[in-house]
């Protein structure tokens, strides 16, 4: 019996009757043989076949293979670790819990499968099961695992804190919604808004020479909102008007997506979270493969997804990014940058250059569209894009006005940067126009110095500013 039977809703299968004997198994491989005693079907081919099904997104076919494999060789550590690893790398974490939890025994099967199962529990926010399993893995007293287990312990602590404050829903323990004695509660609905053009382009996209004409056979890349780690007040913060840290977590993917929009081989989107059309979502833990799969399922033919997390402590900042290849649902590359307020622009510039180089980014030839020049002040520019996004979503009715930073603070800040580039000027003009339509300013007047360029003049004329 595994340690986690009490966390699995799957009931034990009915033992086969005497009239329906199970196929005999080869004593050396644990694999089934035919009635005529032909060569056994090995574990490795079955695992490979199931993996092919997963890569084809045929989870039903893969589960059928796994069920048969577990029936004949389900007590083998190598089978459990391979099965759980393949399911996890393809984003099927619920199936790890379903298949592995009832069978896993830490002493018998070792820590590798346990770590895969632990990650599945964290991904599904099953904190009770994760805590129980973490206790068992620590009890193995394996020094080489200590640092890694402490990392999982920290991730679990963050989930427990969010759960305590109401940001994470605990998994159900057999009760049904609306059961007698339970008060009805509205479920928190987290939605992803996909921004498919530079945020400042909405409303002026028909301006001649502004945006490039996209061709066919493009690579689709998505940049997800950054998680914000190490914060204990996310639930309260996300209900208040947006702040600097949250704005950066949303402005960074907008900045990355904007750069790839000006590359001829890419079609990018930026994905940001909102809750109940009441406020932004702040993610307290890094996106898992399940989250990546959810994003892919709601969008068309995404090839790559960038996820990441921001951590701040005593004025020092660290960002960790991962790029996932969707076709094989595997992590391709990780990127890290660290900075202080004085080094932010230099470090973020290097990070962006590294990402563009890895993704073989190239710019459109001269004259094809507005020339793209990376900003020398990415920290300020991410702030500008985040402000522009908030005004855009409020103008579209996705967010209420009460969630906006006061425009008396936001507009002067982005106006002071408007002369830095064509893009900064366009972001200021469209933000000003949206603020005017929302009735947040009485008269829309472009009183900030703007970058001298024909496209800026055309956009200003189009918006009647």
Long-range Cβ pairs for the range 131-135 (8 Å, 24+): 131/156, 131/160, 132/3, 132/4, 132/7, 133/3, 133/4
Q: Do the beta carbons of residue 66 and residue 83 sit within 8 Å? A: yes
pLDDT reported for residue 288: 77
Q: Report the topology of domain 190-462.
A: Rossmann fold (3.40.50)
Q: How many other CB atoms are found less than 10 A from the CB of residue 406?
A: 9
Cα separation, 132 vs 457, whole angstroms: 63
Q: Do the beta carbons of residue 332 and residue 292 sit within 8 Å? A: no
Dihedrals phi, psi of 448, to nearest 5 degrees? -90, 150
The tokens of 14 are what? 């009915």
> Which homologous superfamily does the CATH classification assign to the domain defined by 5-164?
Tetratricopeptide repeat domain (1.25.40.10)
pLDDT reported for residue 164: 65
Report which of 423, 421, 422, 443 is spatially closest to residue 432, judged by C-alpha positions.
443
3-state SS class at 240: coil
* Domains of the chain by residue range: 5-164, 190-462
Cα separation, 403 vs 280, whole angstroms: 8
Burial 330-352, CB ≥16 within 10 A → b, else e: eeeeebebebeeeebbebbbebb
Residue 252 host element (H or E): helix 244-261
Q: Do the beta carbons of residue 104 and residue 132 sit within 8 Å? A: no
Cα separation, 178 vs 463, whole angstroms: 51
Q: Beta strands 219-224 and 227-229: pairing type? A: unpaired
| Cα R_g (the chain), whole angstroms | 26
The tokens of 341 are what? 């307020």
pLDDT values of the chain reduced to their tens digit, one per residue, 465 residues: 233 333 333 333 434 333 334 444 443 344 444 444 444 568 899 999 999 888 888 899 999 999 999 989 988 999 999 999 889 877 788 899 889 988 999 988 999 999 999 988 888 888 888 888 999 999 999 888 888 888 788 778 877 776 665 554 444 333 333 333 333 344 467 788 899 999 999 999 888 888 998 888 899 999 999 999 988 788 888 888 889 999 999 999 999 999 999 999 999 999 999 887 889 999 988 887 777 877 887 666 799 999 999 999 888 999 999 999 888 778 889 999 999 999 999 999 999 999 999 999 998 888 777 888 899 999 999 999 999 999 999 999 989 998 899 999 999 999 999 999 999 999 999 999 999 999 998 655 557 899 999 999 999 999 988
């Amino acid at each position: 019996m595994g340690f986690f039977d009490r966390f699995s809703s799957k009931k034990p299968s009915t033992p086969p009757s005497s009239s329906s004997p199970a196929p005999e198994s080869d004593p050396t491989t644990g694999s089934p043989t035919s009635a005529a005693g032909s060569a056994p079907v090995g574990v490795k081919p079955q695992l490979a076949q199931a993996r092919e099904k997963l890569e084809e997104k045929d989870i039903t076919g893969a589960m059928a293979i796994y069920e048969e494999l577990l029936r004949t060789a389900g007590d083998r550590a190598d089978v459990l670790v391979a099965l759980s690893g393949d399911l996890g790398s393809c984003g099927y974490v619920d199936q790890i819990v379903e298949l592995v939890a009832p069978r896993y025994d830490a002493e018998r099967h070792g820590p590798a499968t346990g770590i895969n199962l632990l990650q599945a529990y964290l991904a599904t926010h099953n904190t009770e099961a994760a805590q129980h399993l973490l206790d068992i893995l620590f009890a193995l007293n394996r020094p080489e695992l200590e640092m890694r287990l402490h990392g999982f312990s920290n991730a679990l602590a963050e989930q427990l804190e969010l759960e305590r404050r109401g940001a994470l829903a605990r998994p159900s323990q057999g009760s049904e919604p609306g059961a007698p004695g339970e008060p009805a509660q509205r479920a928190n609905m987290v939605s992803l808004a996909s921004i498919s053009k530079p945020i400042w382009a909405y409303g002026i996209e028909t301006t001649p020479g502004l945006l490039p004409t996209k061709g066919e056979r493009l690579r689709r890349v998505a940049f997800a909102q950054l998680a914000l780690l190490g914060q204990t007040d996310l639930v309260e913060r996300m209900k208040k008007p947006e702040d600097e840290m949250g704005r950066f977590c949303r402005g960074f993917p907008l900045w990355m997506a904007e750069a790839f929009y000006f590359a001829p081989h890419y079609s990018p989107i930026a994905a940001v979270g909102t809750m109940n059309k009441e406020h932004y979502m702040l993610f307290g833990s890094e996106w898992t493969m399940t989250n990546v799969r959810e994003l892919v399922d709601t969008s068309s033919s995404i090839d790559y997804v960038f996820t990441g997390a921001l951590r701040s402590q005593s004025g020092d900042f660290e960002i960790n990014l991962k790029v996932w290849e969707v076709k094989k649902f595997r992590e391709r590359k990780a990127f890290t940058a660290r900075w202080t307020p004085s080094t932010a622009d230099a470090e973020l510039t290097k990070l962006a250059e590294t990402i563009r180089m890895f993704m073989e980014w190239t710019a459109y030839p001269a004259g094809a569209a507005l020339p793209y020049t990376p900003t020398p002040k990415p920290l300020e520019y991410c702030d500008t894009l985040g402000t522009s996004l908030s005004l855009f979503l409020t103008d579209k009715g996705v967010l209420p006005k009460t969630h906006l930073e006061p425009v008396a603070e936001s507009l002067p800040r982005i106006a002071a940067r408007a002369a830095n580039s064509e893009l900064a000027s366009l972001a200021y003009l469209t933000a000003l126009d949206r603020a005017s339509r929302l009735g947040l300013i009485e008269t829309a007047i472009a009183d900030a110095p703007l970058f001298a360029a024909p496209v800026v003049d055309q956009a200003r004329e189009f918006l009647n500013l």
